[in-house]
Amino acid sequence: MKKNTLLIVSLIIAGSMMSLPQASASTIDSAVKNLNTSLNQFVSAKDDASIDHLSPEEDLAFRKKVVSDALTLSLKEIEDIRNKIGTLKLDDKSPEGIVSKQILGDLGEFEAHYRDVRSSLDEENDVEKIKDVARSTKEYRDDAYSPVMLKALNLILTFQTDKLVKSADIRYTKIGSDISKLEKANLIKDGAFDKQMGEADKLISGAGSMVEESKDIVLDRNKDKNIDNIYDAPKDEKIVSPRELCEAALVNLKSSYGIFIDISSAIKKALKL
């Protein structure tokens, strides 16, 4: 009996102390910063007093490099986003699979366009034409590229967070089952952790609701659905973007794992382990 008890407790402790996986918020941030960086690079291709000292040849080389580097960065971003969408392993026939396929199609067009523009730079020796390329590429990025990239980033963050919610839900069920075993063995008081498990359930359910709201936006469904009354949402602030919804969901999940750790500690104390 003692061996079984220790096994159950060890499972609870191991499960609840698992660090909450980080959704790729950091990689999302990095990608967004890269977008802004490249935009600044495009802008820097205009006349600038800091490059007045350059010879005509150096000026031309500088401008070509700025635009070429920005195009190369965009191509790297495209590949990075394509890979991240691939790791989601979405069903091609599902709504999210269809959206991801559309995004991947757009990314293919962007990639071809940027490669063509970058190749044309090698043969260009006119500063004014280089400036035109910089301006037109910036416009293309603002009007066509950036909106699709934002949609892709929202899709990735939403479905990565969805996986975390499902993992937390599985963990909640497993811990609840182990607690029941300890209760039946009269090793802990019946209902001792009902309140905490109820709080964890509410937090995870709230996170799931937020992710569903994020899916509504990413998949462009239920346009008229009211998203004001979301559990644990700021009282005086509407959460209107997938990013905000997923960030709020992650806060809930972090809190739920904190509860699991508290339960583990309490069980260890009760059993004098």
User: pLDDT tens digit string along 204-223?
Assistant: 999 999 999 999 999 988 65
Residue 235 scores a pLDDT above 80 = no
For the segment 153-172, the average pLDDT, to the nearest whole number, is 95
For the segment 94-119, the average pLDDT, to the nearest whole number, is 96
The predicted model scores a pTM of: 0.78
The whole-angstrom separation of Cα 104 and Cα 156 is 12
Q: Per-domain residue ranges for the chain? A: 25-158, 164-270
The whole-angstrom separation of Cα 210 and Cα 242 is 9
Answer yes or no: are the C-beta atoms of 45 and 66 closer than 8 Å: yes
Spell out the residues 6+ positions from residue 187 whose beta carbon is closer than 8 angstroms to its own. Answer: 5, 270, 271
Q: CA angle, 112 as apex, 111 and 114 as ends, to 5°?
A: 65
pLDDT for the residue numbered 149: 94
Answer yes or no: are the C-beta atoms of 89 and 97 closer than 8 Å: no
On the 0-12 / 13-18 / 19+ scale of CB atoms within 10 A, 187 is: middle
Residue with more model confidence, 234 or 64: 64
pLDDT for the residue numbered 112: 97
Question: What interhelical angle do 56-88 and 95-122 show, nearest 10?
Answer: 160
pLDDT for the residue numbered 34: 55
Answer yes or no: are the C-beta atoms of 61 and 121 closer than 8 Å: no
Single-letter amino acid code for the residue at 131? K
On the 0-12 / 13-18 / 19+ scale of CB atoms within 10 A, 246 is: buried
The whole-angstrom separation of Cα 27 and Cα 25 is 5
Q: Which of 19-23, 83-87, 144-148, 195-199 has the lowest mean pLDDT?
A: 19-23
* Count of C-beta atoms within a 10 Å radius of residue 26: 9
Answer yes or no: are the C-beta atoms of 103 and 154 closer than 8 Å: no
Residue 252 scores a pLDDT above 90 = yes
The whole-angstrom separation of Cα 12 and Cα 28 is 32
Answer yes or no: are the C-beta atoms of 213 and 245 closer than 8 Å: yes
18 confidence band (pLDDT: 50, 70, 90):
very low
pLDDT for the residue numbered 202: 97
Spell out the residues 6+ positions from residue 224 whose beta carbon is closer than 8 angstroms to its own. Answer: none
Which of 270, 273, 265 minimizes the C-alpha distance to 12? 265
For the segment 216-245, the average pLDDT, to the nearest whole number, is 65
User: pLDDT tens digit string along 20-64?
Assistant: 444 444 544 555 455 555 555 545 544 454 555 778 788 888 888
pLDDT for the residue numbered 44: 53
What tokens does 133 get? 């390329």
What is the percent of the chain where pLDDT is above 70? Answer: 74
